[in-house]
Amino acid sequence: MKISKSIYLFFIPGLVLYSIFFVFPTLSALFYSFTDWDGISADFNFIGFENYQRAAAGDSIFMKSVGNNLEFMFFVAVFQTLVALVFAIFLVKNTKFNYFLRALFFFPTILSSVSVAFIWAFVYDPNLGILNQLLSLLGLEFLTQNWLGNGDIAIYSLAFTQVWFHAGQMLIIFVAGLHAIPNDLYEAAKIEGASRWQIFKKITWPLLAPSATIVIAYTTIQSFQAFDLVFALTGGGPNYSTEIIATYIYSIAFRGYDFGYASAISVIFMGIIALITYIQFKVLRSNRVSY
Amino acid sequence: MKKWLICFIAFLGMIVLAACADESSQEKQSEDDSASASEGEDTTQLSFIHWRGEDKEVFEDIISQFEEENPNINVEMNIYPSEQYQSNAQQLLRDGSTGDVFTSQPGTQFEAMKEAGLFTDLTDEDFVSKFSEGSLSVGQADGKQLAIPYQMVFNMPVYNKGMFEELGLEVPGSWSEYQEMADTLMENDIIPVVFPGADIGPNQTMNSMMMNNAKDEDIFQKLESGEESLTNEWWVTTLEDFQFFNENGYFQENALGTNQDSAMQMVANEEAAMIATGSYHMATLKELNPDLKLGFLPPITVEEGEVDYEGIHTATFMLAINSNSEKKEEAKKFINFLSEPEIASQYANGTGQHLTVTDVEYESEELQNTAHWITDKNTRFQPRYLITEAAVEEAVLGSIENVLGGASPEEAAKEAQQIVEENID
């Protein structure tokens, strides 16, 4: 079928909006990353790559925030994908009970990040929080923790909250992916005497690869963008132990009034996300199969 | 081709129609606006922005009185959450249409606004004389009065006076007396100080904890210029004091995970004798437990002869006029109105705050009982607000969290000093 060239005209409104709200701010950030702009004054100076040099060589908090973010991302990507996958496998059949459970698991996704932060601040409170109280009631006092106040575990507490927050969303993607796998393949495998594990390994997982690619890429990006949750729950503390790149950018820009440097870190941040997402796509693409 | 073109024209037509509808509604809106403008022809709309949501009702009442007295001025008050105000106020003030009267915190925010030229010089205004002289310096720069602090906050622990009376405890005057007091409280299963380490604990308590360890009021200025170091005795000793409080049970368990709401609840329930925050929590504590009798009790970490400072104060909520405003005269009238003793008294009593305005009459027992701290006590301006670099402030606070998390004071000071050095010119 020949498609008329005039169809491209329909791209214009979207393109204009995209340019205004995405392309222009991105290019602005790139521009300001070469300046010493404080975010308020009309004047600024071009300082070349100074901001980038500072980030690369002389900013221990930036390095720490990158490390924290990677740790957070790794935990979230692995556990969120696993939790969503396991739940999706159990809830794949379209029964009324499964519909209910899917809706229940999806529910946290529709909450705002700040609401989630309030809920979990209450859950994690070491003195009045329900988590420690529940553990004590169950005789598991030795497991009670200062969940957000202990710098060694605070990042994992945040990551767990992030998994709780978004696993339902990924569950739906996996359920859709599972429904797209032809039933004939399972029937054939069963006739051939394949075990459950073999069926999962040879049929389910390879054919779920496109969904998994989306889930993992999306989870990764989300975990880099978890600013509001981290900001509301710990503000990056204690002692920078939960400082992630997004909260650090905020801190530099809006507390330190150093927009030039914050822009440079934002550009680096964008590069990190792009690189990780590219690697993931490459790796997961190589696992794809079709029958 | 033709079909696509028709579709596209139809699509454009819809957009144009929508735009026209919007335009016509805007025209209607502007007609309405001009109609209301002609009703009150000489009315000036004054924008007042600040961050204190808890003062909304009191301010609304004060504004209605002001409008009654000045029928040609309407005050539109916009309140932003504290964090949002911190990040957006400068942008809002730039074009002059918002924030004819605005507020600023001392320290980093004041410095940034000053650098951006957002303040109008108020030096020669008559209302300046209505404020206590000692509080004004925080809003001054280059010999000019750029902002006027309205509130007087005491950033030091608030204690349960009734509990002290019941236990026969005296307010300690030295470090050894303080330790005796804390031990007695613990013997009675009471936490001496509840420390909200998850949010404001470190940034509030650092002030009173260091006040007599670093008596030089320029200490942070020297730190930022590279003349001083956090690894020196004044800060390491302060961190040792924090460690002592934490390891000896003066602070509650899991201090770093406790937020201010939980901390207030513990004082209201009389599980703890003191809360390491400040005067601004007294009104809420009274709401939570009306039987509480409250006072200030800063940690005295030196022996009696070495006590120079008895507490910490902050002259804050600084009123200022936007240099880009076209309504400066009206803005001055509004600040003048706020500085009248009756209005200031209404604000002080309605919000449970001490003010910098002289001749304010405090009605509540708590405000009356603690007002003498303004005149009779040798309090020191909050040192934290004298840190002008946000990254330095965060390093200082981070070192406290590091110590409470188990690091040694020396190690924490060293790590923080490294961050300071990375962030000073």
Residue B346 has pLDDT above 50, yes or no: yes
Longest dimension (CA), chain B: 95
Neighbours of A31 (CB within 10 A): 13
How far is A159 from A230, CA to CA, in rounded Å?
Answer: 9
Instruction: Measure CA of the first residue to CA of the last residue in chain B; give whole Å.
Output: 64
Distance from CA of B106 to the nearest CA of A (A): 13
* Mean pLDDT, rounded, for B134-142: 90
- Residue B399's H or E segment, with its range, is helix B390-404
According to the model, what pLDDT value does residue B369 have? 85
Asked if A39 reaches chain B (Cβ–Cβ under 8 Å), the answer is yes
Which among B91, B198, B402 has the least Cβ separation from residue A149?
A: B198
Distance from CA of A74 to the nearest CA of B (A): 24
Q: What is the pLDDT of residues B291-322, one digit of tens each?
A: 999 999 999 889 888 899 999 999 889 999 99
* Tokens at B67, concatenated: 């409008």
Q: What is the pLDDT of residues A65-88, one digit of tens each?
A: 999 999 999 999 999 999 999 999
Contact A239 B401 (CB under 8 A): yes
Q: Count Cβ atoms within 10 A of the Cβ of residue A2 and give its class: 0-12 exposed, 13-18 middle, 19 or more buried.
A: exposed
Q: A39 or B332, which is more confident?
A: B332
* Mean pLDDT, rounded, for B130-156: 93
* Mean pLDDT, rounded, for B117-146: 93
Neighbours of A181 (CB within 10 A): 17
Assign a CATH topology to domain A56-286: MetI-like fold (1.10.3720)
Q: What is the pLDDT of residues B163-210, one digit of tens each?
A: 999 999 999 989 999 999 999 999 999 999 999 999 999 999 999 999
Distance from CA of A104 to the nearest CA of B (A): 30
Contact B398 A240 (CB under 8 A): yes
How far is B180 from B344, CA to CA, in rounded Å?
Answer: 40
Q: What is the pLDDT of residues B379-412, one digit of tens each?
A: 999 999 999 888 999 999 999 999 999 999 999 9
Which among A60, A121, A150 has the least Cβ separation from residue B422?
A: A60
Which residues of B are less than 8 Å from A261 in CB distance? none
Q: Which of A230, A245, A236 is nearest to A162 (CA)?
A: A230
How far is B20 from A43, CA to CA, in rounded Å?
Answer: 39
Tokens 């909304």 appear where?
Answer: B56
Query: Closest-CA residue in chain A for B198?
Result: A149
Contact A149 B253 (CB under 8 A): no
Mean pLDDT lowest among A72-81, A89-98, B29-38, B142-151: B29-38
- The residue among A17, A131, A257, A261 with the most chain B CBs within 10 A of its CB, best to mutate, is A257
How far is A68 from A155, CA to CA, in rounded Å?
Answer: 7
Name the stretches of chain A with pLDDT < 50.
none
B33 pLDDT band, cuts 50/70/90, is very low
* Tokens at A248, concatenated: 């650090």
Is A1 strand, coil or helix?
coil
Which residues of B are less than 8 Å from A146 in CB distance? 254, 256-257
How far is B425 from A191, CA to CA, in rounded Å?
Answer: 74
DSSP letter for each residue of A161-185: HHHHHHHHHHHHHHHHHHHTS-HHH
**Paired strand residues for A35:** A46
Which among A13, A234, A238 has the least Cβ separation from residue B405?
A: A238
Distances in Å between the alpha carbon of B196 and those of A25, A124, B274, B296, B416? 38, 14, 11, 17, 21
Q: Which of A17, A5, A8, A13 is nearest to B14 (CA)?
A: A13
- Residue B285's H or E segment, with its range, is helix B282-288
- The residue among A6, A239, A258 with the most chain B CBs within 10 A of its CB, best to mutate, is A239
According to the model, what pLDDT value does residue A291 have? 62
Strands B148-153 and B311-321: antiparallel
Distance from CA of A110 to the nearest CA of B (A): 23
Residue B37 has pLDDT above 80, yes or no: no
Contact A9 B8 (CB under 8 A): yes
- Residue B307's H or E segment, with its range, is none
| Domains defined for chain B, CATH in brackets | 45-154+314-375 (3.40.190.10), 158-298+389-423 (3.40.190.10)
Residue B23 has pLDDT above 90, yes or no: no
Distance from CA of A268 to the nearest CA of B (A): 19
Which among A13, A59, A256 has the least Cβ separation from residue B389?
A: A256
Strand order in the sheet with B191-194: B191-194, B272-275, B158-160, B294-296
According to the model, what pLDDT value does residue A210 have? 87
Distances in Å between the alpha carbon of A88 and those of A131, A168, B19, B71, B331? 26, 9, 45, 66, 61
Contact B8 A6 (CB under 8 A): yes
**Paired strand residues for B319:** B103, B148
Q: Which ranges in chain A belong to alpha helices (H)? A: 11-18, 24-32, 50-57, 60-90, 96-106, 113-124, 130-137, 154-179, 183-191, 196-199, 205-224, 227-233, 245-250, 259-286
Residue pair A64/A240 in contact by the 8 Å Cβ criterion: yes
Is B50 strand, coil or helix?
strand
* Mean pLDDT, rounded, for B14-30: 46
Q: B378 or B2, which is more confident?
A: B378
In the chain, the amino acid numbered B346 is Q
**Paired strand residues for B111:** none
pLDDT, chain B, mean: 89
Which among B115, B256, B262 has the least Cβ separation from residue A238?
A: B256
Q: Which of B105, B132, B26, B111 is nearest to B388 (CA)?
A: B111
Asked if A265 reaches chain B (Cβ–Cβ under 8 Å), the answer is no
Q: B35 or A249, which is more confident?
A: A249
